[in-house]
Structure formats: structure tokens, C-alpha cells
Amino acid sequence: MIHDVLDRWTAESARELYGVDQWGAGLFQISTDGDLLVSPDPGRANDTINLKRLVDEISAEGTSTPILFRFSDVIRSRIEQLNKHFDRAIREAEYKGIYRGVYPIKVNQHSQVVQDVIDYGEPFCFGLEAGTKAELILAVALTRDPDALLICNGYKDAVYVDLALYAQKMGLNVHFVVEMPSEMRLILERAARMNIEPRLGFRAKLSSRGAGRWDSSTGDRSKFGLGTSELIAMFDQLKAEGKHGCLRMLHYHLGSQISDIRRIRVAVVEAACIYSGLVREGAPMGILNVGGGFAVDYDGSQSNSEGSCNYGGSEYAADIVEGIITVLDSEEIPHPTIVSESGRAITAHHAALVINVLDTKRLESRDLPADLPEDAPETLHSMTEVYRTVNSRNVQESFHDAVYYRDDIRNQFVHGDLTLRQRALGENLFWHTIRKIQSVLTQCDHVPDELQKLDATLSDHYFCNFSTFQSLPDTWALGQVFPVMPIHRLNSEPTRPGVLADITCDSDGKLDKFPSLHDVKRYLMLHELDEEDYYLAVFLVGAYQETLGDMHNLLGDVNIVQVRIDESGAPAITRRVKGDTVSELLAYNEYDTSEMLARLEDATARASSSGKLNVDESQDCINAFRAGLDGYTYFEK
């Protein structure tokens, strides 16, 4: 850890501890006075947002944590970077085609995000990808640039197809992704009625698999796409109807979060071969759509592990461009427009969830008595002996003995051979022994496997105001790690190892895996609570998390604050969206809150008339119920 010349903890030490440079993509810094800064433009270091100060200001105005912050400038910066990478790769390889980005709405369909993508994407003719009817409706309504692509993916009924075709008639750059004969039939029939030629793209099922969590998005048994024999059969069908001129695009999607660049390279070469095959069959083509998959380095390890990636934007773009050139130049086939559908890489960095710590809990650490009571049973004496004799030579054996005696104590207790007080003393002794073992381990060269998780077991619980299921569903569903750190006090050394527990009544509602360069860490170093509020932020949560979140325990959407840096370089709040109220969540679950209130009023009236509540108490009860209904679903101060 970097300390200053006097070996003191500095903001630099915090930067290293939390791996900010590794996962932050240059977007986050720490001020010398220990606050976390968001710098949306890596090139403009002075344009920063002090997150803690912002939280203080917003809280003073009545918006409480948990708050999801959206940094619009980060979306701008990510779109600019992606386009720059492709432009450079195209220039350097003397590629004759162009690049066009498309944003898949499903990655984060919140209006502020989609609007930011459209606004900041305009100079780059950035388009949208819709995967459902609802997303298509949104895309048609919001698209302004007639040249920006509108890629129509997913299952398509007649209403979907008609809307897309009308959009094409009105001048939008609509392309259908087709992956089943039945949908091709439907599109051709509806288009014939409207007297237009649809622009079609085949979704290929590549044999090169993605690798990683979503690798089943392609490969022979994938649920998506057309194998080569289906693809040729469908092309023959088009040709037989004289409609092969409609085939303009080849599309594939390897899966999200492709962590290994080699997979991307291998896949694009295979796709380029299929593209060239279709051109030689007589299709006009023109677009090679490489789908999504450009990964985010959540753990900062720059490796091909699931939460990371072993490449950056410039290598990603260069490999795609070069892969296509290699195949098509040898066949003398014109270079197509390259389309990518990056969602995660554009939106993940723009959002951070700020949560407040409500309380902490440490493992039992009551002082041990100088001597055991006279009536202490033999097991307690044995446990005391283990505690007394732990050293670096017997550390593993001591651990086994401690666990053995702890279990023995519990057994004796349930058989009525130990009193509650004796069991409590035994458990206290056990935890003291484990702590001693842990401290001895810090001096050992080798830590046996079974003892490696002891530090996590001994860490404190930091109870935090959020719901894993609502705000970070992938941590629960997929074991995904997100970077987490305090947003202030970073110039003082955090001394407590902690795991984060949310406010749901679910033992899965916790964060106990944190990014680390070499492995996942089972705890996070945190500060002791003082009289001030203590805030942490979970970063890189802008992709997929909000839309997949659910209302477990009736905890709803969190407050959202959208921030932009204004012309003077200062942060300006451009939008606030209030989180769900309790009554909104109840109504969503089909409760009639007026009826509930009426019932409570009846009940309080009855309680009043029978003397269980006086008039004031009865009114207070109704007021508390009303305040609860109108309030935030999270803990309020």
C-alpha cells in the first residue's frame, strides 16, 4: 500500500486499496481531502463532481439515500470513446467502410439514459436496437436522425412488424433481424401489403462460442440465430420470391461480457466468411452487425475472468476491423458498414448507487473472565486450553480443536448437560480463539486453504440502506462483483474488515464479494462509524441492474439524480426522479390503499370506543399509517 514519506495513510493509499485506477476507466479520482471525485472526461481533469458534497446538498434538500446517480457526461464520454476507437481502427487499416453504433435499449431503458444516448450519439449517427414491441415503440417515437439505424430484433408479431414497416416508410433506417422462417414470412407479407421492400438481416448462429457467463448466446445449441443450413434455406426462399435484394445485413451476438479478445477475433472472422458467402450467393448485403459483448472490467484485473476483460476499446475495434478485412479482401468483396450493439460498455460506468450505513455489528467479543467458574464443565476447560496454546506451529490443529469443542458445547446444551450461561461462555471462548488464530495467521508464510476465509468470517456486518434484489440483482443471481468503496474519509485509513448487509429480510441480501486484482476479496476495509453519516457507493451499475431489479420485501425503485457538468465545469442536477412510495408499491401489487386506510380508521374507531386507544392515540396511529404510505420504501431518518 502506498503511504507518504512518513508512512502515513493518504488518499493515494485509498486509491490503491480500492483499485480505483483498475476498474475506474479513468473516470474516478480521490481528492487530497479524501472525497471521491467523478471525472466524466478523462481528458478534462478539472471538470469533476465531488460525490460526497453532492450527496450532502441533495440530502439537505430532502432527497435521501439510497440514491442512484447518473452521470450523463460519462455516457457522452463512453460513446465518444467507442466511436474514436472504431474511427482510428478504420483509418489505420485503410478500411473502406464506416462504423455505426447502435444502443440496445434493454441494457437500460430508462428515459434519461436512452435520451442521453440519443443526444450524445447524434454526432455519430448512433442508432437504437429494439428487442420487443415496447422497445420498438419507444425507439420509433424517439429517433430523430433518419440515418441512424433502428435495428428490430426479438420476437415480432404483426403489430411489431407493421410499426417497423411504417417507420421505414416514414424514412427511418429500419433493419429487421430475422432468425426464423415464420418471421421472415410475416415481414414479407406485411411489407407486400404496404408496398415496400423491407430491409432484412439474418442472425447467424456462429460455431465460435462466446466464453463467459452468456456464452450460450451462440454455438450450435443456442436458442438464437440461424445455422448455416437454415440460413441458406431461408436465402433460397427469398431468392425464389425475388426478394433476395432485401437482404442487407448479417448479424450475430456472441453474448454479453465477452472477456477474452480471442473469442471476438475468431467470431468476427467466421461471421465475415458467412457475410462473404451471402454476397457470393447474390445478396446485396452492406452491413456486418457484430452485436454486443464488449466487456467491462468490473474487477480491474484486465484478465479473461468473468468479471473482467483482457482488452480495451482500441484492441476491440482493431480486431473487428482487421478480422473483416482479412476475409473480405482476399475475396475482393467491398467492406461493409460495421455495426456494433454495445450496451454494457456504454452505460455501466455512468451510474453509481450511493447508500448510507445504518449500523454495524461485530462478532461477539466480550471480555473473557480471568478464571473459569468452579462448576465449568470439562469442555470449557479444554476450549480454554486451546485458546491459551495457539501458536504458528499448531494453528491448523488449534482451529480443528476449537471447532470440535464448540460443537461439543452445543451438543451438550441441547441434551440439557450445559446451562445457557455455560454455552454463552463457551461460544465467547470460541470466538476469542478464532480471533487469536487469525492474528497468528498473519505471521505465517503459508495459510492453509480451510483457514483462508477466516478473515471474511470475522468481518463486521455493515447494515446498509439498500436492497440487493432491487438495485444489484446480478450480485445475487450471478455472483457478479461490483466495485464498492466509501465516498469520503478516504484520507484516513479504514481499519475494519466488513461485509455489507442490505435491509431485506433475506440472508442472500448482502455484498460479500469485492473486486481485487488477484482474486475476489471476501471483505472490504471500511471505517469505524462516527457521529457523521457514512456513505458508500457501488460503481458500474448502469447496465442491466435497474431493469432486472425486483421489489422483494416491497422495497421499490430508489431516488434517482441525474447530473451533468455545466459550461463552467460545475455539476448541475438536470433531473430528479423520486423513488417509489410505499403506496405506489402496494398499488402495484394490487392493494387498494384507500380501502386499507378506511379499514384502519374503522379499527381505530372501534379501539377508541372500547377504550384501547384514546382520541389522540387513534389520530396518531392514522397519521403514522398515512406517513408510511406516502414515504420512501427505504429507511428514512
Ligand X SMILES: Cc1ncc(COP(=O)(O)O)c(C=O)c1O
Structure-derived torsion over alpha carbons of residues 400, 401, 407, 410, reported in degrees to the nearest 10: -150
User: Nearest distance from residue 222's CB to ligand X, in Å?
Assistant: 11
Question: What's the CA gap between 313 and 552, in Å, rounded?
Answer: 37
Q: Are 103 and 128 in contact (CB under 8 A)?
A: yes
- 354, β-bridge pairs: 67, 537
In the bound state, the residue with its beta carbon closest to ligand X is 292
Does position 107 interact with ligand X (CB under 6 A)? The reply is: yes
**Distances, alpha carbon 580 to alpha carbons 278, 558, 583, 630, 634, in Å:** 51, 7, 8, 9, 9
User: Nearest distance from residue 216's CB to ligand X, in Å?
Assistant: 11
Question: What's the CA gap between 288 and 435, in Å, rounded?
Answer: 59
Which of 253, 406, 513, 522 forms a contact with ligand X (CB under 6 A)? Answer: 253
Which of 156, 243, 344, 552 forms a contact with ligand X (CB under 6 A)? Answer: 344
Tell me whether residue 38 or residue 345 sits nearer to ligand X (CB atom). 345
Cα-atom radius of gyration of the chain, to the nearest Å?
Answer: 30
Does position 153 interact with ligand X (CB under 6 A)? The reply is: yes
The H-or-E segment that residue 184 falls in is helix 181-194
Tell me whether residue 257 or residue 604 sits nearer to ligand X (CB atom). 257
Does position 293 interact with ligand X (CB under 6 A)? The reply is: yes
Q: Which stretch binds ligand X (CB under 6 A): 30-38, 112-120, 343-351, 500-508?
A: 343-351
Q: Which stretch binds ligand X (CB under 6 A): 232-240, 253-261, 316-324, 608-616?
A: 253-261
Provide the angle, in degrees to the nearest 10, between the axes of the packed helices 228-240 and 261-281. Answer: 30
**Distances, alpha carbon 439 to alpha carbons 105, 314, 325, in Å:** 50, 46, 59
Q: Which stretch binds ligand X (CB under 6 A): 285-293, 494-502, 508-516, 627-635?
A: 285-293
User: Nearest distance from residue 293's CB to ligand X, in Å?
Assistant: 5
Does position 292 interact with ligand X (CB under 6 A)? The reply is: yes
Q: Which stretch binds ligand X (CB under 6 A): 325-333, 336-344, 389-397, 517-525?
A: 336-344
Tell me whether residue 101 or residue 486 sits nearer to ligand X (CB atom). 101
With a CB cutoff of 8 Å and minimum separation 6, the contacts of 169 are 194, 196
With a CB cutoff of 8 Å and minimum separation 6, the contacts of 508 are 468, 476
- The residue written with cell numbers 414497416 in the block is 165
**Distances, alpha carbon 542 to alpha carbons 261, 349, 471, in Å:** 23, 6, 10
Task: List the x/- string, 116-145, binding to ligand X by CB under 6 A.
Answer: -------------x----------------
DSSP class of 25:
T
Does position 256 interact with ligand X (CB under 6 A)? The reply is: yes
The H-or-E segment that residue 272 falls in is helix 261-281
Q: Which stretch binds ligand X (CB under 6 A): 22-30, 251-259, 482-490, 496-504?
A: 251-259
Query: Would you call 550 helix, strand, or coil by DSSP?
Result: coil
Q: Which stretch binds ligand X (CB under 6 A): 252-260, 264-272, 525-533, 534-542?
A: 252-260
Tell me whether residue 135 or residue 408 sits nearer to ligand X (CB atom). 135
Does position 85 interact with ligand X (CB under 6 A)? The reply is: no
Does position 104 interact with ligand X (CB under 6 A)? The reply is: yes
Tell me whether residue 212 or residue 494 sits nearer to ligand X (CB atom). 212
Does position 291 interact with ligand X (CB under 6 A)? The reply is: yes
Does position 559 interact with ligand X (CB under 6 A)? The reply is: no
Which of 341, 408, 474, 546 forms a contact with ligand X (CB under 6 A)? Answer: 341
Q: What is the largest CA-CA distance in the chain?
A: 99
The H-or-E segment that residue 194 falls in is helix 181-194
Which residues form the interface with ligand X (CB under 6 A)?
A: 104, 107, 129, 153, 253, 256-257, 291-294, 341-345, 543
